[in-house]
Amino acid sequence: MAVSGLVVLGATGSIGLSTLDVAARHPQRFRIVALTARADVEGMARLCARHRPAYAVMAEEAAAARLRDSLTTAGVAEVEVLAGSRALEEVAALPEADVVMAGIVGAAGLLPTLAAVRAGKRVLLANKEALVMAGPVFIEAVRRHGARLLPVDSEHNAVYQCLPPDSEPGTPPPGVRRIILTASGGPFRRTPLEALEAVTPEQAVAHPNWVMGRKISVDSATMMNKGLEIIEARWLFGLPPEAIEVVIHPQSIVHSMVEYEDGSLLAQLGQPDMRTPIAHALAWPERVPSGVEPLDLVSVGRLDFERPDPERFPCLGLARRALAAGGTAPAVLNAANEVAVEAFLAGSARFTDIPRVIAAALEDVPPVAARDLDTVLAEDRRAREAAEAVLARLRGTA
């Protein structure tokens, strides 16, 4: 059995740690080539000591210097420590890397993920923002460079498992009528609407089913994560927006469904544990143990489904609006959401300000054609400036 070289972008986050957990269960299959992180020096030092990658990359040189000192003290001399966005792209395209886990959250993950695609790697896509921001550009790069794109988001991985095995990214699968993405509804599914104004960051990140990072947990609470997933699914599977639906499924056992023209409805079920889709993508087309407990449907007892309330979850409608507008509107949506969520987590914006900021940014930054990556990145910057201006108005500091 050939050993695959593995690069984990975003190694200290929840996706990265789950990926390393699965890979460590199969040392005969995977060798860790490179790990990257933004600022968690202590976490990266522990991972380097355990997995002994050839390279470790930090976002900033100051963090890289601290990591070098930490590894020297610990006697981990074989790891070469690099810093900066260029180093991220370089390790994503290393010749010895066969598989790249794209686990960096947000727009920061776009360029290194594209570097892996352009190097023709097997790319395990957990960074939904890459497709949200630059869907046509990204899918065209996958086709041009012969990369293998495997979705890791639990919903898109579930859809992928329910599709014909020869399905290609961006191409409508034969015989498929619609895709149904499931959503837990987050922690505020039953919270009175008037109480949402006073929601705290600690309440918003307390997801009832999944263990995730803070930003993604807030996206789940607003259901913006599901809006981003609609856009991601549109580019991954080539279906029109009206063929992609969302239902709330509070148990998080059915991870998504695919309906075929003959009336068949295929679903992928499993525990709410990201190691399942990660193991599927890592070992594809084979299957390997993930460390996840088997699902006991008798213990689960029941599976409930309901339609999302547009008044409770306005971000879902904003995402559909951006997708319908096309061009760079999804990039504006994503950028404004990142700014608004960061402000909420920092305590300088209210939970209900998040959709207000996004809606205003979509108005203030009209979409243009997403001709190339430079255009997308320029509009991303404009959207962030617009979102900051909206926040300043809401705070009364403009």
Q: What is the pLDDT of residue 234?
A: 96
| CA distances, 369 to each of 85, 140, 246, 326, 327 (Å) | 26, 15, 27, 8, 4
Residue 211's pLDDT band (cuts 50, 70, 90): low
Fold (topology level) of 4-151: Rossmann fold (3.40.50)
Q: How confident is the model over 272-321, as pLDDT tens digits?
A: 999 999 999 999 999 999 999 999 999 999 999 999 999 999 999 999 99
Q: Taking residues 343-347, what's their average pLDDT?
A: 96
Q: Taking residues 160-173, what's their average pLDDT?
A: 91
Cβ–Cβ < 8 Å for 145, 117:
yes
Residue 77's pLDDT band (cuts 50, 70, 90): confident
Q: Taking residues 94-113, what's their average pLDDT?
A: 93
> What is the pLDDT of the chain when averaged over all its residues?
94
Task: Provide, rounded to the nearest whole percent, the portion of the chain with pLDDT above 70.
Answer: 99
Q: What is the pLDDT of residue 221?
A: 94
Q: What residues contact 178, with CB distance under 8 A and at least 6 apart?
A: 239, 243, 244, 245, 258, 259
Q: How confident is the model over 221-251, as pLDDT tens digits?
A: 999 999 999 999 999 999 999 999 999 999 9
Q: Domain map of the chain by residue range?
A: 4-151, 153-185+223-308
Q: What is the pLDDT of residue 159?
A: 98
DSSP letters, 209-265, are: S----HHHHHHHHHTHHHHHHHHHHHHHH---GGGEEEEE-TT--EEEEEEETTS-E
User: Considering only 1-5, 52-56, 96-100, 141-145, which range has the smallest mean pLDDT?
Assistant: 1-5
Residue 398's pLDDT band (cuts 50, 70, 90): low
- Work out the angle at residue 257's Cα, subtended by the Cα atoms of residues 326 and 176, and round it to the nearest 5 degrees: 65
Cβ–Cβ < 8 Å for 346, 371:
no
Q: Is residue 397's pLDDT more than 80?
A: no
142/336 Cα distance (integer angstroms)? 27
Q: Is residue 396's pLDDT more than 90?
A: no
Helix axes 353-364, 214-222, angle to 10 degrees: 90
Q: Taking residues 68-86, what's their average pLDDT?
A: 94
Neighbours of 263 (CB within 10 A): 7
Between 129 and 45, the higher pLDDT residue: 45
Q: Is residue 127's pLDDT more than 90?
A: no
Q: Is residue 79's pLDDT more than 70?
A: yes
Q: What is the pLDDT of residue 240?
A: 95
Q: Is residue 121's pLDDT more than 90?
A: yes
Length of the chain: 398
